[in-house]
Amino acid sequence: MLKYRYEVMFPYQLREVLEKNPIVYLPVSPIEWHGEHLIFGTDPFRARRVLEIVWERLGGVMMPTLYVGTDGTIVEDGEEFWGMEMFAKEKIPGSVFVRKETFYNLLKDMLNFLERTGFKLCVLCTGHMAKPQVEVVEKLEEEYMERSMKVISWHWGKVKYPEELVTNNPLHAGVEESSEILSIDLSYVDLDRVGGMEVDRKVGLTKGNLENISEKLGESRFNFEAEELIKKILKCYNKES
């Protein structure tokens, strides 16, 4: 099975994979605040982890993670708030976003060059679930339906998890997301800092709400989601694992 990371490929390897397994995976999400207890790279790491599980099974080419994304905005009393700031009603240092049109144009240009290179399927995965972000990746999937390279836009909103893999109170940076990041690396979650800041408590990130974080839950959610994505790819790509 041919399986490469794009940034360390040689041209002859690219020619070989384009002939035998022309699928490319692109994880994309912004650096974003996820509470005092989670790293800023939560969404990009999440997207990459899902794709890496699939890539290990199906092969193809893994693109470097694209640390970029967009979110909703509001302006109140002359202050512009992005993402979770809209709910906290205060500026939260750490997140790095771009305008929706910037995000769309960037991805469109990248997909154009992947198609131009000769790939036949791009799996575009976002770990960031803001409405403008999802709208962009899904729009690009639609735009590529009749082109030589198809695009699968993927996010966890497309997954119907079994009851044991969800909580009754899903939150941004909540039990599900925190468990997933914990399963990637224990050092990426600092449970002692849960609810330690007032801004965390404003958006529901309290010790009581996050008491069921577990590495096992995160690993199970990733594996379930990856299996769902594999089914989608095999159906679209018409190949067998």
Count CB neighbours of 100 within 10 A: 19
Q: What is the pLDDT of residue 170?
A: 82
The domain in which residue 46 lies consists of 3-237
Q: What is the pLDDT of residue 240?
A: 39
Range 2-18 average pLDDT: 98
The residues near 5 (Cβ < 8 Å, ≥ 6 apart) are 61, 62, 64
Q: What is the pLDDT of residue 237?
A: 75
pTM for the whole thing?
A: 0.95
Range 164-176 average pLDDT: 89
Question: Which of 117-121, 133-137, 141-145, 207-211 bottoms out in mean pLDDT, i.e. has the lowest?
Answer: 207-211
Question: Between 119 and 209, whose confidence is greater?
Answer: 119
Q: What is the pLDDT of residue 221?
A: 98
Report the relative pairing of strands 79-82 and 73-76 from DSSP bridges. Answer: antiparallel
2, 14, 110, 191 from 8: Cα distances, Å: 14, 10, 18, 36
Give the torsion sign (CA, 51, 53, 55, 61): positive
- Per the structure, the count of domains in the chain is 1
Cα–Cα distance measured from residue 155 to residue 28, given in angstroms and rounded to the nearest whole number:
10
Cα–Cα distance measured from residue 224 to residue 179, given in angstroms and rounded to the nearest whole number:
14
Tell me the CATH number at 71. Answer: 3.40.50.10310
Range 99-104 average pLDDT: 98
pLDDT digits (tens, 9 = 90+) for 23-69: 999 999 999 999 999 999 999 999 999 999 999 999 999 999 999 99
